[in-house]
Amino acid sequence: MSCGTSEPASTPESSNRDADTEQAILEENEFDADFIPYSENIPETSEAIELVPVAGGTFTMIDEDTGKRHEVAVDSFWIGKFEVTWDQYNLFAQGDLNELRQDFYKVMYDVDIEMEADAMSSPSLTDEVLDMLREADVPADVISKPSPAYSDMTSGMGTDGFPAISMTHYAAHMFTKWLTIKTGEFYRLPTEAEWEYACRAGSNDNYSAPSDSELENQAWHRGNSNRKYQLVESKEPNTLGIYNMLGNVTEWTLDQYKEDYIGELQGAPAQNPWFKPEELYPRTVRGGSWTESAEEASCLQRRGSQPNWKMNDPQLPKSLWWHTNAPFVGFRVVKPKDQPEDLEEMEEYWIEAMQDYF
Amino acid sequence: MKRTTLAAGGGLLFSSLPVSASAYAGANDTLNVAVVGCGGRGTGAANQALTADEGVKIVALADAFRDRLDDCYNTLNERWGETGRLDIPEERKFTGFDAYKHATELADVVILATPPGFRPLHFEEAVNQGKHIFMEKPVAVDAAGVRRVLAAGRIAKQKKLNVIVGLQRHYQQNYLEALNRVQNGEMGDITGGSVYWNSAGVWVRERQPDMTEMEYQMRNWYYFNWLCGDHILEQHIHNIDVANWFIGEYPETAQGMGGREVRTGKDHGQIFDHHFVEFTYPGGAVISSQCRHQPDTFSRVEEHLRGTYGTIELDQGGKALMKDRNGVLLYDHNSMNDPNPYQQEHDDLFAAIRNGNVIDDTENGAKATLSAIMGRLATYSGQVITWDQAINSQEDIVPDNLDWDVEPPVLPDENGNYPVPVPGVYQPV
């Protein structure tokens, strides 16, 4: 597939945006005119993903509990200015599986799959299609979309402009594949290191928890959110111009959760660290949320997903797609500045579906 | 049950006594469980039974379809295969419409988790054979079925059988705590409220070229009333049940409106995509009940009740939020460490069997079912439906002697569309 950089689209003015910050970003990237905020339109829809550039660098990751520190280097990337909204997520979740599969195999593998709609809308592929994919040496189970949830996954909190929630890590990951197909640009979830780097926005050596006024201005938490999530474009952004990293919804990252993350880092500095998930649980979410206390609204806040996030899923195996009991979990996307050179490099980031028998 | 208790049984360990003889199992007996209806929910319930009690073995599976049965077996095998607690040789895998009978015979406890149209038949059989029962909601799809369940329930009571109905909010901590507070008068008498199951809708299984009409309807059962009873019954029963439970009464009348605006395709059978019903209770409380299956509309699955002194909001996510009439917080439930209500149902069931206690959810399960059916009769007809009318309704939409070559009770017209009830025209019988 082609992974060239799109033409930067117009960036909507943000009244909250600090003009000096904008200038600082531009200066830092003065040799790279393409590495600026832009808006990635999702073709054939009225939706766009707003992106903020984060220039790579080194910073010190800190384990609050043990005091361990480790220097980490991350490459440049764009990150979603906002959490992914239901408006965006539902384009994927409620889209046509038939079309998605055809587009995916065409774009990624240059394999044309044409078949009867009946066969394609089935959750599992027919033998005929499986044979075709096998012949072309194409993996069969690399693209899918959420099944309809049995219940309401918004917890009655609204959809228009609000963050998508309650999706599994696999579902959030699959959204990024869908977005990759739609836009022709490689998207994925942020690694823990990227997430924290973007959240800290320049406080690279040390980190101090947000002050009371920063909390009030930037974070939705249990104490101020009136028991519900809020619009993704609300409160003030951090100094890079990114909204709601501290709170609103806690956000999926690309990593398996390691209790002793800092202790497991290797290299000085650790280069683009990422613990690829090999187990279904726990996987890492970062930042606070509307259900969590103000103390948890921090760039260092991290926790692992748990089986009881599907407590109200009475079936077995449990849903690949929905966490019935995690109305606090959402995500934002990342687009690496250096796009993968080929499909194989991209496949390194793909995460396998794992059935949930817990 | 703890392993130490089992070990103490010595030579009697896992002796398989015929439970049905006394309806009482000693602490050390194996409890043989049969799963009737092997979809995701039946499989989940089997998993919960195995988790609840170390003496449980799954000994038989029954489903209309072999592929669903195999999925169930393979899933259970993933989780429990190495424990020796799945004892399901080929000859105890039963398929077809009479599979339930054979599986029930082999069990001490049955899990009834087929589409609800079959429940009265399967429940009667289990009661007649003296088995303890976990059955999913709703327990019938029409008044004839409700009456059968109530009648069989009376026999179950005489036989001291445990019957748990999968209205799991009754086993969920935030609901129980809230009920306690309501019954203590903390928000006064309940005068009304609103209950909701508004969502985008559920799965659709499209017709495949090689399917007979019966197979198609059985696969895509959600959209046919003789199998499902419409979503006001199949899902929204939970919320109507909560209103009944907290008010402490069953509705006296129902009137409402509904139809289908969005979900109108051939694969959407005959059910509505929205219902709005006003239930009036004997003590005067009025509950608005709304349920909707339409994507991209406001979604909410909750129960909001008003009392003379305050209000409460409840949901399955663990919310129980009680305020006085000035909006001052009276109670905010913290559900962080609450047990899983689906697991609790089975923990309670097997503990009761072990201890010789009896849990009997049948009557409430049947009357909650009838309440939702009453709502459906009201929205389909556009008339006021009384409780007496509903319970005496002659509607009997599930055929006897079902088999693959029996014609389903509803058939498509020449264009492939199914008849949809029309308010003002539909006559409740």
pLDDT band for position A6 (50/70/90)? Answer: very low
Residue B160 forms contact with A (CB below 8 Å):
no
- CATH of region A36-95+145-152+164-347: 3.90.1580.10
Q: Which of B137, B340, B342, B344 to mutate to test the interface with A (most CBs of A within 10 A)?
A: B340
The predicted pLDDT at position A28 comes to 55
Mapped onto helix, strand or coil, the DSSP state of residue B221 is: helix
- With 80 as the cut, is the pLDDT of residue A9 above it? no
Question: Where is average pLDDT lowest: A15-24, A35-44, A101-110, A144-153?
Answer: A15-24
- In total, the C-beta contacts within 8 angstroms joining chain A to chain B are 94
CB contacts under 8 A, A 210-269 vs B, are 227
Distance in angstroms (rounded) separating the CA atoms of residues A168 and B283: 45
CA distance B160 to chain A (A): 27
Distance in angstroms (rounded) separating the CA atoms of residues A175 and A38: 20
CB contacts under 8 A, B 129-158 vs A, are none
The predicted pLDDT at position B9 comes to 35
Q: What proportion of chain B, given as a percentage, has pLDDT over 70?
A: 93
The predicted pLDDT at position B27 comes to 63
Looking at residue A208, its amino acid is S
| Mean pLDDT for all residues in chain A | 88
| Mean pLDDT for all residues in chain B | 93
- With 70 as the cut, is the pLDDT of residue A20 above it? no
A313 CB neighbours in chain B (<8 A) are 44
From residue B367, give the alpha-carbon distance in Å to each of A309, B109, B315. 32, 23, 21
Averaged pLDDT for residues A24-52: 83
Distance in angstroms (rounded) separating the CA atoms of residues A14 and B265: 44
B206 CB neighbours in chain A (<8 A) are 118, 121-122
Averaged pLDDT for residues B156-163: 98
Question: Do B301 and A152 lie within an 8 Å CB cutoff?
Answer: yes
The predicted pLDDT at position A120 comes to 42
Q: State both tokens at A288.
A: 């606070």
pLDDT band for position B6 (50/70/90)? Answer: very low
Distance in angstroms (rounded) separating the CA atoms of residues A315 and B361: 21
Residue A46 forms contact with B (CB below 8 Å):
no
pLDDT in tens, A45-79: 999 999 999 999 999 999 988 999 999 999 999 99
Looking at residue B293, its amino acid is H
Per the listing, tokens 């587009």 go with A103
What are the sequence ranges of the domains in chain A? 36-95+145-152+164-347
Q: What proportion of chain A, given as a percentage, has pLDDT over 90?
A: 71
- With 80 as the cut, is the pLDDT of residue B195 above it? yes
The predicted pLDDT at position A109 comes to 84
Please state the ipTM of this predicted complex. 0.87
The predicted pLDDT at position A130 comes to 76
The predicted pLDDT at position A321 comes to 96
pLDDT band for position B14 (50/70/90)? Answer: very low
- With 60 as the cut, is the pLDDT of residue B19 above it? no
Distance in angstroms (rounded) separating the CA atoms of residues A330 and A286: 10
Averaged pLDDT for residues A182-197: 97
Residue A148 forms contact with B (CB below 8 Å):
yes
Of B265, B292, B266, which is closest to residue B277 (Cα–Cα)?
B292
The predicted pLDDT at position A30 comes to 52
Question: Where is average pLDDT lowest: A126-135, A235-244, B172-181?
Answer: A126-135
The predicted pLDDT at position B400 comes to 87
Q: What proportion of chain A, given as a percentage, has pLDDT over 70?
A: 88
Q: What are phi and psi of B157, to 5 degrees?
A: -65, -45
Mapped onto helix, strand or coil, the DSSP state of residue A35 is: coil
- The Cβ of residue B318 has, within 10 Å, a number of other Cβ atoms equal to 20
- Beta carbons of B372 and B232 less than 8 angstroms apart: yes
Per the listing, tokens 């990237």 go with A29
- With 80 as the cut, is the pLDDT of residue B147 above it? yes
Distance in angstroms (rounded) separating the CA atoms of residues A243 and A246: 8
- Beta carbons of B107 and B19 less than 8 angstroms apart: no
pLDDT in tens, A221-246: 999 999 999 999 999 999 999 999 99
The predicted pLDDT at position A128 comes to 75
pLDDT band for position A97 (50/70/90)? Answer: confident
Averaged pLDDT for residues A273-281: 97
The predicted pLDDT at position A10 comes to 41
Question: Do A148 and B200 lie within an 8 Å CB cutoff?
Answer: yes
The predicted pLDDT at position A115 comes to 57
Question: Where is average pLDDT lowest: A137-151, A239-253, B76-90, B260-274?
Answer: A137-151
Q: Which of B35, B41, B43, B47 to mutate to test the interface with A (most CBs of A within 10 A)?
A: B47
**pTM (predicted TM-score):** 0.89
pLDDT in tens, B280-294: 999 999 999 999 999
- The Cβ of residue B2 has, within 10 Å, a number of other Cβ atoms equal to 8
The predicted pLDDT at position A122 comes to 53
Domains identified in chain B and CATH numbers:
5-169+341-361 (3.40.50.720), 185-337+369-391 (3.30.360.10)
- With 90 as the cut, is the pLDDT of residue A350 above it? yes
pLDDT band for position A107 (50/70/90)? Answer: confident
The predicted pLDDT at position B367 comes to 98
Q: Which of A124, A315, A358 to mutate to test the interface with B (most CBs of B within 10 A)?
A: A315
Between B149 and A110, whose confidence is greater?
A: B149
pLDDT in tens, B133-142: 999 999 999 9
